[in-house]
Amino acid sequence: MGASEEALRRALADKQAAIDAQGNAVRDLKAAGAAKVEIDAAVEALTALKLEKASTERQLKAIVSNDGNINTVNRDAFRQAVVNTLERRLFYIPSFKIYRGVAGLYDYGPPGCAVKSNVLAFWRQHFVLEENMLEVDCPCVTPEIVLKASGHVDKFTDLMVKDEKTGTCYRADHLLKDFCKEKLEKDLSISADKAAELKHVIAVLDDLSAEELGAKIKEYGITAPDTKNPLSNPYPFNLMFQTSIGPSGLSPGYMRPETAQGIFVNFKDLYYYNGNKLPFAAAQIGQAFRNEISPRQGLLRVREFTLAEIEHFVDPDDKSHPKYNEVVNLEFLMFPREEQMSGQSAKRMCIGEAVSRGIVNNKTLGYFIGRVYLFLTHLGIDKERLRFRQHLANEMAHYAADCWDAEIECSYGWIECVGIADRSAYDLKAHSEKSGVPLVAHEKFQEPREVEKLVIAPVKKELGLAFKGAQKNVVEALEVTKDVEIFYL
């Protein structure tokens, strides 16, 4: 919370206390049958205090309304006007409209198709062609085993709450965020400390566990927005659309929630195509499907959308990038984890400085943050309304080691438009293990090297005798032990 906002909230609380005291004084004078002139003077003082309070409220409202996190009435009205125009001119149309539509599904009309095709052409030019990336085009329908290996079957979830009477579903974090935003915007009587607490909740929202979210929802008395009925405890809901492949129904599959898995499963062939050399990048543009819990915000959160993704494969011991110097001096708004946790705002910083101070994990990640900045600003995004926000520890997807979102400020507040993550070797390792096909790269050393390695060689027979039924778990635990090779005797 800015210093002036905090001072105004405190001043407002002081004014209210003074008004209460003066109101009591007026009542006491009247009860004691004081002289009219004395009562008039006290009433005048009370009116002056009320005017001062109204003026402080106006100042506070102006500050709160300018806060990028908070939607104002003006913004909502402006957005509605834009949405009406875009729909009337067929930029987009709610899908299946004649059957009353389906939330989160939209068609593009002729001008919408033209804009989409221009943006994708520029994306291809800026990333795929300028960086010599290997483009692929994989199916949307994906067998379960692929998404089981990648972790999506078990972990691609959002926390959901249900209206306990009607069963209507809501995203738990969205309800909590809406509550905090509305309270900050509309209830000017809340204390400075309460306002700071609500802002902190918004800042760490993505970091909250199901239990923490549930506790906050109870503490604030949040109910179902449409019915005011009580809500269930939050629980995870998997966002993937399930299907089955072939007529037997025996081969489960999912509509892909991201295009990246198609790249990972083709790593071996792409690496070969690239002359068995690292680094290289592969790219894919295609449809992604997510069964969002309660889609809103128009085209910003839909159940089927076009994703353009890049996977850049790099030596984990050398995350330099040959073209890093081309972006090193780019300066833009960055919002590191620490600043978010301590309630500060995003700050202008050179990407080179962020990398050298260790705020951004490595040069390759820094290079792509810079390239995304250039892409978005060339598209026409206002530099003042663009920031790169680092994910909080719990917020990071199950595969990520460091993650930055490009966020654009619009009438809905700051909205994530691009995710840039260091996924480490999570996916390649997972698919190697599940498929039995090693998805690895080799480095030829200049000079031969001798390496000593600790090797654990479990004797399965002995393990069986010692651990009986738990033998499998013991072997699995040994298998995930880092830096240890396992040989079975």
How far apart are CB 307 and ligand ATP at their closest, in Å?
6
How far apart are CB 308 and ligand ATP at their closest, in Å?
9
**C-beta closer to ligand ATP: residue 262 or 352:** 262
Q: CA–CA separation, 26 vs 30, rounded Å?
A: 6
DSSP character at residue 325: G
How far apart are CB 405 and ligand ATP at their closest, in Å?
6
- Peptide bond preceding 279 in cis form (omega within 30 of 0): yes
The two three-digit tokens of residue 311, written as one number? 């996977």
The two three-digit tokens of residue 269, written as one number? 């062939």
Nearest to 182 by CA among 300, 64, 59: 64
How far apart are CB 416 and ligand ATP at their closest, in Å?
5
How far apart are CB 391 and ligand ATP at their closest, in Å?
8
**C-beta closer to ligand ATP: residue 256 or 319:** 256
What are the CA-CA distances from residue 150 to residues 142, 242, 432 (Å)? Answer: 12, 16, 11
**C-beta closer to ligand ATP: residue 278 or 418:** 418
**C-beta closer to ligand ATP: residue 301 or 321:** 301
How far apart are CB 162 and ligand ATP at their closest, in Å?
19
Enumerate binding residues for ligand ATP (CB under 6 A).
290, 292, 301-302, 305, 307, 416-419
Letter for the amino acid at 225?
P
How far apart are CB 341 and ligand ATP at their closest, in Å?
18
**C-beta closer to ligand ATP: residue 54 or 379:** 379
- Provide the 10 A C-beta neighbour count for residue 255: 20
**C-beta closer to ligand ATP: residue 352 or 370:** 370
**C-beta closer to ligand ATP: residue 152 or 216:** 152
**C-beta closer to ligand ATP: residue 4 or 394:** 394
| HSE value, Cβ hemisphere, 13 Å, CA-based, for 166 | 11
How far apart are CB 390 and ligand ATP at their closest, in Å?
13
**C-beta closer to ligand ATP: residue 29 or 260:** 260
Close Cβ partners of 135 (under 8 Å, ≥ 6 residues apart): 124, 128, 282, 283, 284, 285
The two three-digit tokens of residue 136, written as one number? 């692929």
For helices 172-186 and 192-204, what crossing angle results, to 10°?
Answer: 150
Helices marked H in 220-295: 260-265, 267-273
How far apart are CB 295 and ligand ATP at their closest, in Å?
7
Q: Which helix (H) or strand (E) element contains residue 64?
A: helix 36-66
Q: CA–CA separation, 402 vs 391, rounded Å?
A: 7
Concatenating the DSSP letter of every residue in 413-449 gives EEEEEEEEEE-TTHHHHHHHHHHS---------SS--
Residues 405 and 420 sit within 8 Å (Cβ to Cβ): yes
Query: How large is the greatest C-alpha to C-alpha distance in the chain, in angstroms?
Result: 105
Residue number with the shortest CB distance to ligand ATP?
419
